[in-house]
Structure 1
């Protein structure tokens, strides 16, 4: 008689059922309360009550104010200024949710600042993005949802699933409605050329590339050249984020000298350090578009900065994750390659 299969065998196993889905729960950390509320409104759910408090010496305390046992919790908490406080709070929320027996915790990180530290490109430096990824996993996150990582390969730093959204979809939809003639997409450097090309495909425009040089860790750059024809064109500069605005402004000045007409800029994350908003307001940029992944700004925004909401994109991704459908179908260029 054939022997019965060994239940302890290490061979491949096929899971013939889906685990039960917990109630969809949205929770807001201190980093993005307005975005979290907008996401909850899009999904037709209320925000789960919670509180975070920072003591006078800097110690952070978090508490969930209702039962989350068995729920699928989507925690909205960006890692932006104050970066370290927001990151530590993110870890504490994840830990609190796991200890409260949440079924699944998805860390929704609209902006992940430490993504800039994605490689060891100098002697004796830390790969900060990898350290942060390890910490998020150790705290207990089951999944990560984010937008426009500085380097997409950072997804590989995590062993849990990472869903990566792109701000260019909502920004390009907004720009397309403006019907700007003779539009050309421009990348400020070769490092963003692939993303700029994807942006151009969504708008149906040509793409040109700038060549810049950064001498140190400051935000000061020197634009050396622009590869492509810009004379008589309307230009939109695209990047994933800007801190001081100097790269975009320097590029805009060079483009003007080369005969460009109106110059726009579009970034997903408006990090905007002290003085950046005023600098952009006085620059040759006719308009700069940025999303609301970072909602608290140091300085008032000038008239030529326009904020585009991304709650719908995050809500659609959360609904897809919760319903176990494909998140990639949200991206037009991904569908076209099938």
Structure 2
């Protein structure tokens, strides 16, 4: 059991109850009591069921399914905890759905991730811990400290346990190439990059070309998230056409909507590893999906923050 300078209080929002319980088991504590109600008109009600006066509190909440409701709930949790005189509120946000809105890439659009960051700070968040932000520069949208943990060690361990040899790591686009290179280095494998084009907001993309040699190797596509599994399936088809012996994939956030599982089942992908940052997907998982838990990673981060220790050890080897 971990030791702390003072008693830990970890609460979970309605988007992350299972992960919260798992984190608390690793910390050797019980999850904090609270209540979330949704009224018939859609309004949310949040009530803290513990004495938090003068305490350093940790709140676990992903923001998806439905994204808007769970983000608003997160703000209400922060406000309720601060109004109950919590000394600080550290938001543990395993998956930040609005991180995709990280730039003004066309006229008259909102930079949604920045709006969310400012809202969290206005509600009273003192620190944010998340995992594999869609763009690392989003940390700069916040005035409070942000720790962007990596799912790579968790996923790499799961991949190594599979015992697949002759791997080639594949980035699904140039934007993820830097992180894909970290996977390649950790797995002692070469890197290939798919050249992908996205022309609209339909969540569909088209693979134009592949940079690198995958012939005769077992390909591993890596990415930060997948929603429709469309890109994974299309890249997988391209890899098989280029002579790959097999295709697997690993993504940090398995968001999954609509026909994602059908697309995955119909694709050449043999196994898709994800983490448990999202736990309320509206689809039943394919037999190809395997889940690796990030609960130990977040538990270690919470314990280190609580005891005023460095988090740098969590990035060793990354």
How high is the TM-score relative to the length of structure 2? 0.97
The CA deviation at 1:275 is 1.4
Work out whether 1:103 is the aligned partner of 2:118: no
Aligned position for 2:208? 224
Provide the secondary structure at the position in 2 that maps to 1:286: strand
CA distance in 2: counterparts of 1:220 and 1:50, whole angstroms? 39
CA distance in 2: counterparts of 1:297 and 1:122, whole angstroms? 30
Equivalent of residue 254 in structure 2, options 270, 283, 299: 270
The CA deviation at 1:107 is 0.6
The question of whether the paired residues in 1 share the 8 Å contact of 2:65 and 2:281 is answered with no
The CA deviation at 1:303 is 0.6
Aligned position for 2:153? 169
Name segments (4+ residues, structure 1) moved above 3 Å. none
Equivalent of residue 264 in structure 2, options 265, 280, 290: 280
Provide the secondary structure at the position in 2 that maps to 1:184: strand
Aligned position for 2:32? 48
The CA deviation at 1:277 is 1.4
Unaligned runs of 5+ in 1: 1-19
Provide the secondary structure at the position in 2 that maps to 1:306: strand
What RMSD, in angstroms, separates the aligned Cα atoms of the two structures?
A: 1.1
CA distance in 2: counterparts of 1:106 and 1:214, whole angstroms? 35
The question of whether the paired residues in 2 share the 8 Å contact of 1:238 and 1:265 is answered with yes
Work out whether 1:329 is the aligned partner of 2:313: yes
How many residues align? The count is 315
Equivalent of residue 117 in structure 1, options 91, 96, 101: 101
Equivalent of residue 152 in structure 1, options 118, 130, 136: 136
How high is the TM-score relative to the length of structure 1? 0.91
Work out whether 1:198 is the aligned partner of 2:182: yes
Q: Could you report, residue by residue, the CA deviation over 1:25-56 in whole angstroms, capped at 9, with x for unpaired residues?
A: 11011010000000000000111110100001
Q: Could you report, residue by residue, the CA deviation over 1:61-115 in whole angstroms, capped at 9, with x for unpaired residues?
A: 0001121111111100111120000000000000000000111100110000000
Deviates most, 183-192 or 274-283: 274-283
The question of whether the paired residues in 1 share the 8 Å contact of 2:272 and 2:288 is answered with yes
Provide the secondary structure at the position in 2 that maps to 1:288: strand
Aligned position for 1:9? none
Unaligned runs of 5+ in 2: none
CA distance in 2: counterparts of 1:263 and 1:282, whole angstroms? 13
Equivalent of residue 182 in structure 1, options 166, 179, 184: 166
Larger Rg: 1
Provide the secondary structure at the position in 1 that maps to 2:269: coil
CA distance in 2: counterparts of 1:96 and 1:195, whole angstroms? 37
Work out whether 1:214 is the aligned partner of 2:198: yes
